[in-house]
Amino acid sequence: MTLKREEIADKLAAAGYVADRDIATALWLMDFLKRPLLLEGEAGVGKTEVGKALAAVHGAELIRLQCYEGLDQNAALYEWNYQRQLLAIKARENIGENADAIEEHIFSEKYLLERPLLAAVRRDKPPVLLIDEVDRADEEFEAFLLELLSDFQVSVPELGTIKATAIPRVVLTSNATRELSDALRRRCLYHYIDFPDVDREAKIIFTRVPGIDATLALQIARMVAAVRKEDLRKVPGVAETLDWAATLFGLEMHDLRQEPEAIYETMICLLKTQEDRARVTREVSARLLGKVA
């Protein structure tokens, strides 16, 4: 079942994910050791994309859990179907069943609503479980995740422990807005994703914006790399680059030098705070353009 490293690299490319050199190894290792993979990196470097691409590589279902402050077990693991439970209680009481029997009945799997984590351990074919931005969840939730990540099982108090039928491939991503616990880190393999270098970014643009000129893609990648070196509050990510490339492509531009004014104006795709916008003035934009194009 385990794919070879080269196969993973090929399939990633086929899935439209332009991988950095070593990610294929990390993904292979994940399968080989049956361990989760923790991805860290700046916002917008394409961490979430790795999860999606991995699902494509294995032809597996992608189950995604977006973490947020206050995420609790009800939203992440399971919930009971209250309406059905209430109906069942009424119906069964009318036919004279006693309370214990009713309780046993309404807390059975039939009334259980799956949430992402439970879904991930109950699939027959191993899915890819993407736990996105785990640093946004509370410490309590992180601790709760540990059971899942080390033993691939979850506890539902009313039902008992549910063991994974097939071990899911787990990818966690973090933007490092909060330090993750050592315990969580120890259970995971680690990969740090950096902003792509110019060549790789050009390749990404080329793959994702169909029909774009290769030279224009390269120019855009160079320009974005230069913008990232400026002192910005929010450094543009790959998604921003793609937006910008699509915009310029839509404007039927073939060369960045062609219309400096349009470049400056469309740069709102890259710069998303007022402060950054003010920092990259027409002059700065022209200077960067002069350097890269």
Partner 1 sequence: MTGSLQEVPRGDPERRLLKGERSESLGEPARRRLAGFGRTLRDNGFHIGLAETRDAATVLTSPAAIQPASLKPALRALFCATHSDWERFDEIFDAFWLGRNMRQRQILSGMPSAPHAPARRLAEAHVPQQLLELPDHTEQRTDSAETPVDGRGHREGASRTELLTATDLRHIVDPDEIAATHALASRLARIMRVRLVRREQIRKRGRRLDLRRTIHRNISHGGTLVDLAWRRRKIKPLRLVVLLDASGSMSLYTAFFVRFLHGVVDAFREAEAFVFHTRLAHVSPSLRDRDVTRAVEKLSLMAQGIGGGTRIGDSLATFNRWHARRVINSRTAVMIVSDGYDTGAPSQLSVEMRRLRRRCKKIIWLNPLIGWRDYAPQARGMQAALPYIDLFAPAHNLASLAALEPYLARI
Q: Which residues bind partner 1 (CB under 8 A)?
A: 2, 4-5, 21-22, 25-26, 28-29, 32-33, 35, 37, 40, 70, 74, 79-80, 82, 85-86, 89-90, 93, 99, 102-103, 106, 138, 176-179, 182-183, 185-186, 188-192
Q: How far is the CB of 87 from partner 1 (least distance, A)?
A: 8
Q: Which two tokens stand for residue 20?
A: 């950095």
**Nearest CB to partner 1, comparing residues 124 and 231:** 231
Which of 73, 64, 167, 65 minimizes the C-alpha distance to 123?
A: 167
Assigned token pair, 35? 């361990």
C-beta closer to partner 1: residue 209 or 235: 235
Retrieve residue 247's tokens: 């915009």
- Rounded-to-integer distance, Cα 19 and Cα 225, Å: 18
CB of 90 to partner 1, least distance (A): 5
> How far is it, in rounded angstroms, from Cα 82 to Cα 94?
18
Q: Give whichever of 102 and 239 is closer to partner 1, judged by the CB atom.
A: 102
Closest distance between partner 1 and the C-beta of residue 152, in Å?
16
* Residue 99 CA: distances (Å) to CA of 102, 105, 111, 190, 232: 5, 10, 17, 50, 63
CB of 136 to partner 1, least distance (A): 10
Separation in Å, CA 35 to CA 4, 171, 288:
16, 9, 44
Question: Which of 246, 250, 244, 249 has the alpha carbon at shortest distance from 264?
Answer: 244
CB closer to partner 1, 4 vs 291: 4
Rounded to the nearest angstrom, the gap between the alpha carbon of residue 102 and the centroid of all alpha carbons in its chain is 41
Distance separating alpha carbons of residues 10 and 263, to the nearest angstrom: 35
> Nearer Cβ to partner 1, position 35 or 279?
35
Instruction: Specify the residue, 25 or 266, whose C-beta has the smaller distance to partner 1.
Output: 25
